[in-house]
Chains A and B, each alone.
Chain A
Amino acid sequence: MPESILYEIRGSKMRNILFALLILAACIQAFPQESREARRCRRGQAAGYATRDATVMSMMGWGIGIAIGIATLCALIDNETGSGSSGGGGGTTH
């Protein structure tokens, strides 16, 4: 077999291998990229909600003073434990 044909076969094989590797790399990159993007979109969510809630509290919120007694706090806690709500007292870190 002439040497030039041999080189051509080797070259085309090499091209195929490179092409396959390229596709494989693109696939590997694409999936984590998608999930990275999704995670990135989710990040900052709490800060966004906190901003919204701070503004709403300032505009429409009403407060309960400590001065009116600890009993109100207890009532709040009873309500929370009764309803199984997650808001209000989740100071425990996770």
Chain B
Amino acid sequence: MRQVLAAVEEVGAQPTDFMFLLFLLFFAIAEAQYCYFIPPPNWEIAQLKNPSPHVKIGFIGKGSTTFRPSINLATEEIDVSLKEYVKAVKELQLADPTTKWRDLGKFPMEGGTGRLTEMSTSSPWGELQVFQAFLVKEGTVYILTAAILKEDLPKFHAPLLSSFRSLTFIDDLWTPIADSQRRSEFQALFTSLGTEEGKWEKLQSCVSALAELGPYWQFLALQEGRVRMTSVEKSK
């Protein structure tokens, strides 16, 4: 550390600047973590006019009626344990006397052990089931919520639970790419965004070829790619 600080002083920077840069780097690394999940196959990205700021993204499938099964990801910063949070949710959901709520217990997810709950309520389409999977990581609760008609449950139960289980955290967007060659290609392309013309189009085709990672990962990859490209172009 002393040698590094000495080297920094040699190039004319103050050690405090270096420490500040380290501090920024730490936060940049700490922030560079993504949460994603894989929705059931062939579900579409939901468009909603006024989504809550807590809800990050939603997907809808095709049900037996005009009521389409849906799944969304929401987050909330918390200062309590998962158990206490679920208790608060129970109180909130049971405020409606027509609602039935059940804690289904621990639920293993790729990002850690969460908790699964079930809620049933009536709707003009019939009895409605709402499943919620909660996972707490570093002061934030990640909530996957699925709404489905009871009559559609046998068809969608397994794919929805599998989707819930897929919730995970990654440090870099390329981490979940299984093939090492494709992973390094994607990494090289992503880190070179904004430096040359045509990289954005290349990223689009690269992302569309990685369909196995699901539409939410694809969305994140394009969104982060766009942000990176804009910031690199601005810094020129």
Contacts and interface: CB of A to CB of B under 8 A. Distances in A.
Interface in B72-110: 72-80, 84-85, 88-89, 91-93
Contacts of B36: 91
Contact of B55 (A49, A58, A94): A49
Contact of A70 (B44, B67, B207, B220): B207
B60 A73 contact: no
Given A47-B143, A90-B56, A92-B33, A62 B47 contact: yes
A63 B42 CA distance: 11
SS class, residues of chain A in contact with chain B: helix
Interface stretch (B1-9, B131-139, B181-189): B131-139
A58 B67 contact: yes
The listed residue with most B CB atoms (<10 A of its CB), out of A47, A63, A80, A90, is A47
B177 interface: no
Interface residues on B, range: 35 or more
A47 B57 contact: no
Contacts of B148: 58
B93 A51 contact: yes
Contact of B75 (A52, A71, A90): A90
A87 B51 contact: yes
Nearest to B124: A59
A51 B59 contact: no
B70 A54 contact: yes
Contacts of A2: none
A71 B9 CA distance: 49
Chain A interface size band reads: 35 or more
B176 to A, nearest CB: 13
Interface of B: 31-36, 42-48, 51-60, 63, 66-80, 84-85, 88-89, 91-93, 119, 123, 125, 128, 130, 132, 134, 137-138, 140-141, 143, 145-148, 169, 204-205, 207-208, 211, 215-216, 218-220, 222-223, 226-227, 230
Interface of A: 39-40, 43-59, 61-66, 69-71, 73-74, 76-78, 80-81, 86-94
24 contacts: A44-B85, A44-B88, A46-B52, A46-B55, A46-B76, A47-B74, A47-B89, A47-B145, A50-B52, A51-B145, A53-B145, A54-B146, A57-B147, A63-B68, A64-B47, A66-B215, A70-B205, A76-B45, A81-B227, A86-B53, A87-B56, A88-B51, A91-B220, A93-B33
Given A46-B54, A47-B92, 20 more contacts: A43-B84, A45-B76, A47-B93, A47-B145, A49-B54, A51-B130, A54-B147, A55-B123, A59-B66, A61-B46, A63-B45, A63-B60, A64-B45, A65-B45, A66-B215, A86-B53, A87-B56, A88-B57, A89-B56, A94-B140
